[in-house]
Amino acid sequence: MLKILGRATSTNVQKVLWFCDAQGIEYDHDNDIGGAFGRNNSAEYLAMNPNGRVPVVIDDGFVMWESCSIIRYLARKSKSDLYPSDFAERQTVERWMDWELSLLAPRHVPVFVGMVRTKPEDRNPDAIANGVTQWNVAMQVLEDQLSETAYVAGASFTLADIPIAPIVHRWYNLDIDRIDAPNIKRWYDSFAGDAGFQKWVNIELA
């Protein structure tokens, strides 16, 4: 059975767990790795992922890291209709997945880590305020896209929506200034009742 290693408080682990639930892929999940659990810098773990990051996913002995490429692998293997075969449609999906990892996620980290994982006395208010501004610039790009298409990569829910949603969940659940974003709200509400989203993504920030 597929093995998923990593704490479910990580957005990168959440995207794998949610995708597997959405596709009915069975897995064994070891939650107690990373963050306060540690174990991700053990020799055994580093042999699987030299970056010491979560998630690691093991499919019948094949070890993978990098969350978005993991869900693309799982989507291809399960012939998921969330991952279109048309070259242009697939590029659009992959572009937004890359955008999440390379732009959206780094923009939210100073805010999320500053407000949730840093003791109040150690917080840097200027860095957090600047982070909110930068994060909202990225959210405006998402809002503009969702004013044109129902979902991130077009008319239907695809693999592109899954990595972005956990960061939007954090955006809604932090006490920060947010841009006016009616289309993000419409999009977010459209999958908020999904069982996998509820279980893995719609959780208290930690």
Smallest gap from Cβ 203 to ligand GSH, in A, equals 14
The strand pairing partners of 191, in sequence order, are none
Residue 19 or 181: the one with the smaller Cβ distance to ligand GSH is 19
* Residue positions counted in the chain: 206
Which of 144, 124, 122, 128 lies closest to 177 in space, CA to CA? 128
Give the range of 61-69, 91-99, 119-127, 181-189 binding ligand GSH by CB under 6 A.
Answer: 61-69
- Is residue 67 at the binding interface for ligand GSH, with CB under 6 A as the rule? yes
What distances in angstroms separate CA 202 from CA 15, 29, 57, 63, one per listed residue? 12, 18, 22, 28
Strands 62-65, 2-5: pairing is unpaired
Kindly tell me which residue out of 4, 5, 8, 12 binds ligand GSH, with binding defined by CB under 6 A. 12
- Is residue 97 at the binding interface for ligand GSH, with CB under 6 A as the rule? no
Give the range of 4-12, 20-28, 181-189, 193-201 binding ligand GSH by CB under 6 A.
Answer: 4-12
Smallest gap from Cβ 63 to ligand GSH, in A, equals 13
Amino acid at 177: D
| Spatial distance between the Cα atoms of 200 and 51, rounded to a whole number of angstroms | 24
Residue ranges binding ligand GSH (CB under 6 A): 10-12, 34-35, 40, 53-54, 65-68, 101
